[in-house]
Structure formats: C-alpha cells, structure tokens
A and B are shown apart, each in its own frame.
Chain A
Amino acid sequence: MSDLVSKNLNMLFGDTVHALKDVSFTLKKGELLTVLGPSGCGKTTLLNIIAGFLNPTSGTISLDEKEINGPGVERGMVFQQGALFEWLTVSQNVDFGLRMRKENPQKSKKLVDEWLEIVGLQGFGDTPTYQLSGGMQQRVALARCLINNPDLILMDEPLGALDALTREKMQSLVLKIWKETGKTIVLITHSVEEALLLGERLFVMAPRPGRIHKEYTLPFASMGLQKDLRSIKNNKKFVTTREEILTMIWDMEEEIMGKEN
C-alpha cells in the first residue's frame, strides 16, 4: 500500500492568502492524477507540499504511511522549464541523483544509457544541455527524475512551454512511461485537453480559497495507451467533458473578476 493520503491540508500565506483549504484525497499506487484549475487556485502549492518544499499550515500528508517532512528521493519532480544544470552534459544531468548518492559509476552509466534510450535521446549523452531544444530538455528532465526510481512522480506543468507537436509526442511518452513503470504520477496542467487525455483521475481546483472543486474518473488515459491520441480527442464523451470543465473554469474566472470589480 503505497498510497498518497492527504488529510485536511490547509496552507496560509500570511494572514490573508488562503492558498489551500481542507484538501483531502487519497491516491492509490499506480494512479495518474491530473490537477487542473485557473491560476491562483493552489495547484503548485499543493505540489510543493507533496514534494516537501513547503510545510502545510495544518493537516497531514503521507506517502506509504510515512508523513512527508522535507524533500526526498522517493518523490521525484519534473519542472516546467526543465530546471536542468547547464554546466553539465546530458548524461551528467541524468545521473546527477546517482552521483549524489555515490552509486557505482559503471552501474550508473549503464542505467543512464538505458534511460536515454527510453526517452529517445540515445547518442546525446555528451551534448551540453544548453544546446538542446525545449522538448529534448524535458526528456532529459524526465530521465533525470526517473533514474532515481521514485515511488511518486510530480510534474509541474512539464509540457507547458512546448509547441503543439512536441507536446503531443511528450504526452504519449508520459503515458508510455506510466504504463511501463506503473508509477504514481501527479501532473499539473493548464490545458484541459491534456488533463483529460493523461488523467486517470482529474481534480478541478477552485481558487480563493484553493480547494478541490470537482473530481472525475476518466477512461481516456487507458484508451491512449492503445489508440492514437488525436482520435480520442474526437470521442463524444471527451468533447462533452471538455466543454463541461471549460464552462466550470470560465465561471470561476468570472466570479473572481466580479469580486475584484
């Protein structure tokens, strides 16, 4: 049972900003959760708390029945801009975690080669990362995170800065990795389509205070494992769910604007 269990999480910045309010959920091992919501709804705060970069004001969160208290290797994270180390080459970036834990270099090298092949970067090991394109940089970031064999993978808008074509390829890659490794994944996104395509479960969050507004359980991720992603986008149920969520978010945005005026 390596579940991610959150109980009544509350996060306050100062006295006024209520970033998260009473967030409770349970994520089973191997589930892929996507989190969607307008800006300022506390998505990134939730992710940072799971990663251990922030301590919640109240409430508890635990992975594998161990309370999360600070960052750890069992929770790997992929950032929006990759957050690669420019002064290192691709393979040095990928085996960063292994080096930090002083693993056997020969074993690491084999692992690095394996992972570079999985993410489709074979032959790029000695390239400096600043020479890579945005999509390739994200592949490196994925490999760097996965080589540590974490129980839980956290992704903070990992595909947000990519162009449409690259994005689609990367979405397939994420699904492929999810299937092959069976990892638990929490993925934050702006894009409704992406959230529907990738999410086995989907949280739509609402702002002020940040909370889980609605929860869906979706079939598209499993479908995406077999079928072409583009054909899923024309699926009738996909279209209606998308419209529903879009309306929901639109209403939320309008509510905020109304409050401000």
Chain B
Amino acid sequence: MLTGFITILLLIAFLSAILYDRLVVKNRKIDAVFGNPERANGGYHWVLAGSCSILLLWLYFSWDIARSYYPQSANELCQVAKVRESVLGINYIFPIDQRTLKSTDFIERETKKINLLKIEINNADLNIKDKTQLLSFLTKSQLMIVALSDEKNLKKETQSKIDLVAEKLSSLTLRFQSDNFPEEKSTEEKEKRKKLLENQTDWGATGMEIPPYPVTKRGEKFESASIEMNVIVEEFFQIKNDHKKFIDLSLNLKNELKEFKNKLTESQTLEKDYLRKISKISGRISRSNIFPSKSLDSVERAVKEFDETQKVEQGNLRVIDTFLFPAGTIVASGETCSEQGAGRWLPKPTDTLRIFLDLLKPSVGYKNFPMLWYQFIGFNEVIDFIVPDWIADLLPGEYPVHSSNGEIEPNFKKHALNIVSGEFDSFKIPVPSGHIWDSFLRVFLGLSLGVIAGVPLGLFMGLSRFAKGYFDPVIELYRPVPPLAWAPLIITVFGIDNSGKVFLLFMVSFAIMIVSARAGASGTQLSKIHAAHSLGASKWQILRQVIFPNSLPEILTGIRVSIGVCWGTLVAAEFLAGTTGIGFVENVARKYMQYEHIWITIFVMGMLGLLFDLAMRWVIARTIPWRGKG
C-alpha cells in the first residue's frame, strides 16, 4: 500500500525532474560551449532523477511493485506453476516444448548409433562367423523399432487406454473453463483447508517464501486442476506398447545375446566389447516405450487444448507475470513455491527497511550486539584502558611491603597504582558501542596511529639521506604486499579482537602516510627554505613552519586515500575473524543467506565511507585553501 504510493511519487519526481531540465535549458541565458566545465555545475534535479531511478529499479526488480499492487499474484502464480509442473512430463513427449516427438528423436539417435556400429564391426579384425552374428543382432534391434512403430501391431486395448486418457484430459479442460470448476469440497476437507490457510503467512513475511495454498477462487481452480492433472499424467505413463510381436523379438534377442556371450573365450575382448555395446542399444530400445506416431494424436490434441485453456484462464496474471516479475518468475516444486530470478537475491526495499529498523533497535541488534548504541562503563575502566600502569612505577618511592604484624600500609605510590589500574569506585559514563561503532573505532584508531607515526617519519625521510636510505628497505618491502595477505599472520599474533585489526590498519595507513609525507617534504620549493633561512629561522622552525605546512596537501590526500584502503581492509579482516563489526555481520548473513542483511551492511558501509570522505573534504577545504593556487 505505502510502497505503491511511494512508487507513484518516485515516478512523478523522476518525470518532473526531466521536465524541469527542459525548462532550465529553455531559460538558460548564457549557453556555455561544449567542453566548458561550467556545463557540469548545478544539476541537482538530475541528482533527484538519478536517486529516483535507482529506487524505482530496485522496487521493480525486487518485485516489490508487484507485491504492493497485486499482493495475491504470487500466490496465484504459484498455483499456475503447480499446473505447469504437473503437465511438464507429458509436454516433454510431444512437440510442445520440443521440436519433434520424443520417440522420433529417440529413433533418429539410435538408428544413427546402430549404423555407425555396423560400419565399425564390418571393418573390425574379427572372424567372418562372429562378424555376421554381431551384425544380425544389430539388424534385429532395428526390427524391434520397426515392430514398435507399426500401427498394425498396436493392441486395440492399448489404443483404447490412450484414448481414455485423452478423453479425461478433454473433460478436465472442459470443466476447467466452467465457473464452478473446483466442485464443492466435503466439510471435512474444508475444515482442513481452513486451518492450513489460517497458519499461512503473507508473501515475503517469512523471508522469501511464497504462500503455497490458494487464497483466491482463481488459485483454487488452478490448484484443483494441477491435482487432477497429476493423476491423469500418472495414468498415461502407465500405458506400455507391449504387443506380442515386440515381446517375442525382445526376448529372442536377449537370449541370443546371452548364448553368444557364453560361447566367447577369455581372449576375445574385441567381440566382448562390441557385444556390450549392442546389448546397451537393444536394452534402450526395449525400455523405450515407443508408440506408432499417429496413435498418440488424441492425447497430443487434448494436451495442447488444455494448455491453451489454462493460458486463457490465467487472464491478467500472464500480463502481471511478464511485466511485474522481471528477470524470473515463480516456480513450483511439489507443494511449495519459490521466487526464481532477480526477486530471489534482490531483497524488497520494504523488507530491507523493516529489517534495518529492527536491527537498529538496541534490544535486537545482530547476534546479541546492537548496531549502534551506547552502554554504561565505569570511569575507572576507562582510566585503566587509557593510562598505562607503568606510569605508577616511574613515581618516586617504593611500593609498600607487609609489616611484621602482617598489615600493609598503603602509601602514595600504592594509591597512584590503584588509580592508573582502575581499582577505585567511580561513577559510570555512557560509551558508544555496537557493530558500526566497533568498525568505526578500529578504522579511526588504526588511521590515527598511522598518521601519528607515519607523518614524522615520512618528513624525516624526505629530508635526511640517512633516514631515507635506512628505512626505505623495510617500508618498501612490506608496503606492496596486499594488506589482506598480512591479515592471517597478524590476527594469529595479535588476536582476533581489536588489537589485531587495529595493527593491520596501522600498517596500511603507516605506509601510505610515509609515502605522502615524504613526497610533501621533498617537494618543498628550495626558494621557500632559502627564504626561511635568511629570515633567521632555525632548523626546527623551518620544519615546523615551512616544510610541514607545505606538505599538508600531500598529507591530507594521503589520509583520504588511507581511509578508503583502511575501510576496505577492515571489512575483509572482519570477514576473516572476529565477533563484532560490520564485516562480521555481513559474513554471518552470508552464511544464513540473509540477503536483506547483506544489502543493509553494504548500504551502511557505503554511507560510512561517504561520511569519512565528506569530513575529509571539509577539513581539506578549511586547512589548505591555497592548494593549487600558489
């Protein structure tokens, strides 16, 4: 309902954006020539149109539009699919789905094989007697085909059975068309069906399942037809073309083959080989159940008629299936039905949003951990985490020792230790937590450490022959290795929790920051450094006041690149190991085939990446407005 409304809104927005652009083009005063970058400015209505078309495509290809406008269509199409499934076997025999009759096809294939084998045997190195014998077997196999194809041999009884099936089919077709087709059910059956329907959920309410029991009149009609059709088809496949002539020929050939086989000695491997091939062919023909081509005409006609009728009876369902179920359809398998195609792996926006909002609830979350929330942590724990314990060791004095009466007198140093190790009662402060926060924190920590360590070293390397030469080998050795190649080792050494991932990200950003800071430092114009020298600046002042600001554009670009690479590495590392984080959520969702969750994580990652980049752009615009203008 809401989805349908939104679809129309999106369509209107999309079309009005296009109309608005016409207006803009018409009223444009300065028509910039082609190639002028001015022409790329503005165009926010195209942003709207682009967003609308993405959403519309998503709604359309996930079959959400079909669900909002025709909520029963999946259920009805499921019944249609059941009918289609029931006639599948019989259709396969006639040239409905195929080009030729199945029997014709079979005869053509086997005759070709027999003829090939005949030529092969003729040219084989065998004695004349065996050769003639083998060739005669093949001729007899061919005779079996002839016997089966001949109408005169067909038993009257068999033909009447076939005609009976055709009659039943025609009768079903006739009744199917009438309005009161599924005849009134018994009260007992009605009760049973009612119960089933009560337990049945709506389309998509339980993941991607389709409600299998018909809820509409049309659906009931198709379901009943499919049940009846199954019985008729079963009956049809029981009929065998087993007249006396064929049975005699078949038995005869079987015996002769056996006799010949017994006469063969151990060493006659070639004969044995040919015999095996002939046995296979004759066996296939005995089991083939070939009918004379005209004898099945009545059934073929009836099946075709039924097919036409069921298509007509589908009515607008066929249109819905074609246009609102793009790239796939609903397929039945026995009692159940499922979405096959785009609708299966592309979750519906409505479901995705519902699950996303559900996940955001701190009480639900994913795997007992919220996506983004806060928790209360004692201030002492925060202190313990941030302040290293060895600070207490540096203070003057000694830790207390126990006295002769076994008492310990705490002194100043002991109190300091208690504070830095968090052993004191304190108030609680709220701290963010959750999958998204964990991922964010890892990127932030890894990146910050990389910047703090990488920028000074990079600057040093850009300015000193010693530093450049000394540190170059180790950095150039590990930098080109894809970060993920380090992941297994680092996760083993540092553990699957935060420290391993933060260290991995530190390695990534450290290398990038070194390279960019080095480029920035060595790119400083010599005249600026000369100027600073002759203005009386010291070495440290030149580094701090000239080289560092001059390298800022490179450093900030390096940070921007680092963010992208860190983000990608983190998600992959969370895939490998861990119990929290966005990548972890996606990995678990993949295992359970929760397509909605996968799409949600993809969306969240995209949004976070965008936020990072926007923040960096803001920082760059604020700190280095002179870039490219010097």
Question: Which residues from chain A sit less than 8 Å from chain B, CB to CB?
Answer: 51-53, 71-73, 75-77, 79-81, 83, 85-87, 96-97, 100-101, 128-131, 141, 144-145, 148, 154
- Asked whether, in the complex, the Cβ of B630 is within 8 Å of the Cβ of A86, the reply is yes
Asked whether A83 and B629 contact (CB < 8 A) given A101-B536, A148-B536, the answer is no
Whether B533 is near chain A, meaning CB under 8 Å from some CB there, is: yes
Please tell me if the beta carbons of B625 and A76 are within 8 angstroms of each other in the complex.
no
Which residues from chain A contact B533 at a C-beta distance below 8 Å?
52-53, 71
The answer to whether B187 has its CB under 8 Å from any CB of chain A is no
- Tell me, rounded to whole Å, the shortest Cβ–Cβ distance linking B144 to chain A: 97
Give the distance in Å from the alpha carbon of A86 to the alpha carbon of B545 in the complex: 11
In the complex, besides A76-B535, A77-B534, A97-B537, 10 extra interface pairs with C-beta distance below 8 angstroms are A71-B533, A72-B534, A80-B527, A85-B528, A100-B538, A101-B536, A130-B625, A130-B626, A141-B531, A148-B536
Indicate whether A100 sits within 8 Å of B630 (C-beta atoms), given known contacts A79-B527, A87-B549, A87-B624: no
| B536 lies within 8 A of A128 (CB) | no
Could you tell me the distance between the alpha carbons of A75 and B625 in the complex, rounded to whole angstroms? 32
Complex partner residue of A87 from B531, B535, B537, B626, CB under 8 angstroms: B626
Q: Is the CB of B536 within 8 A of A83?
A: no
Q: Which A residues are in CB contact (< 8 Å) with B527?
A: 79-81, 83
Query: Does B532 lie at the interface of the complex (its beta carbon under 8 Å from any beta carbon of A)?
Result: yes
Residues of the B chain whose Cβ atoms lie less than 8 Å from the Cβ of A81: 527
B interface SS class:
helix
For A145, the chain B residues whose CB sits under 8 A away are 534-535
Is A86's CB under 8 angstroms from B629's CB?
yes
Tell me which residues across on chain B come within 8 A of A87, comparing CB atoms: 549-550, 552, 624, 626
Q: Is the CB of B626 within 8 A of A71?
A: no
Is B630 touching A130 in the complex (CB atoms < 8 A)? yes
Q: In the docked arrangement, what's the CA distance between A97 and B545, Å?
A: 11
B577 within 8 A of A: no
Chain B residues contacting A76 (CB-CB under 8 Å) are: 534-535
Is B541 an interface position by the 8 A CB rule? yes
A79/B545 in contact, CB under 8 A = no
B546 within 8 A of A: yes
Interface residues of B (CB under 8 A from A): 525, 527-528, 530-538, 541, 545-546, 549-550, 552, 624-626, 629-630
A97 touches B535 (CB 8 A): yes
Chain A hits for B536, CB < 8 A: 72-73, 97, 100-101, 148
Closest A residue by C-beta to B528: A83
**Contact (A128, B626) CB under 8 Å given A79-B531, A83-B528, A87-B552:** yes
- Chain A residues contacting B531 (CB-CB under 8 Å) are 77, 79, 83, 141, 144
CB pairs A–B below 8 angstroms (26 shown): A52-B533, A52-B534, A53-B533, A71-B530, A76-B535, A80-B527, A81-B527, A85-B528, A85-B549, A86-B626, A87-B550, A87-B552, A87-B624, A87-B626, A96-B532, A96-B535, A96-B537, A97-B535, A100-B537, A100-B541, A101-B536, A129-B626, A130-B629, A130-B630, A131-B629, A145-B534
Name the CB-closest residue of B to A147: B535
Residues of B within 8 A of A86 (CB): 626, 629-630
Q: Is B534 touching A85 in the complex (CB atoms < 8 A)?
A: no
Q: In whole angstroms, how far apart are the Cα atoms of A74 and B399 in the complex?
A: 58
CB neighbours of B630 from chain A (8 A) = 86, 130
List residues of chain B with CB within 8 A of the CB of A101.
Answer: 536
CA distance A53 to B535 in the complex (A): 13
Q: Are B530 and A77 in contact (CB under 8 A)?
A: yes
**Which chain B residue has the least Cβ–Cβ distance from A100?**
B537
| CB of B370, distance to nearest CB on chain A (Å) | 43
Q: Which residue of A lies closest to B627 (CB)?
A: A86
CB of A4, distance to nearest CB on chain B (Å):
15
The 5 residue pairs across chains A and B that have the minimum distance between CB atoms = A86-B626, A97-B535, A73-B536, A83-B527, A71-B533
Q: Which residues of B contact A51 (CB under 8 A)?
A: 530, 534
Taking a contact as CB atoms closer than 8 A, the residue among A71, A100, A144 that contacts B545 in the complex is A100
Residues A73 and B535 in contact, CB atoms below 8 Å apart: yes
| Whole-angstrom CA separation of A123 from B530 in the bound complex | 28
A86 to B527, CA, bound (A): 13
Distance (Å) between the CB of A199 and the closest chain B CB? 22
A144 to chain B: closest residue by CB: B535
What CA separation (Å) do A141 and B531 show in the bound complex? 9
In the bound complex, CA of A51 to CA of B532 (Å): 12
Q: Which chain B positions have C-beta within 8 A of A129?
A: 626
Give the docked Cα–Cα distance between A129 and B532 (Å): 16
**Complex Cα–Cα for A144 and B528 (A):** 13
* Complex CA–CA separation, A79 to B550 (angstroms): 18
- Cα distance, A154 to B530, chains bound together (Å): 12
Q: A72-B534, A100-B536 are in contact. Are A85 and B629 (CB under 8 A)?
A: no
Q: How far is the CA of A53 from the CA of B533 in the complex (A)?
A: 9
Report Cα–Cα, A5/B537, bound state, in Å.
Answer: 26
On chain B, the residues within 8 Å of A71 by CB distance are: 530, 533-534
Which of A51, A72, A85, A131 has the most C-beta atoms of chain B within 10 angstroms of its own C-beta?
A85
Chain B: minimal CB distance from A225 (Å): 27
B541's nearest neighbour on chain A, judged by CB, is A100
Residues of A within 8 A of B624 (CB): 87
Bound together, the chains give a CA A135 to CA B551 distance in angstroms of 26
| Chain B residues, Cβ within 8 Å of A97 | 535-537
In the complex, residue of chain A having the shortest beta-carbon distance to the beta carbon of B530: A53
Complex CA distance for A97 and B630, rounded to whole angstroms:
21
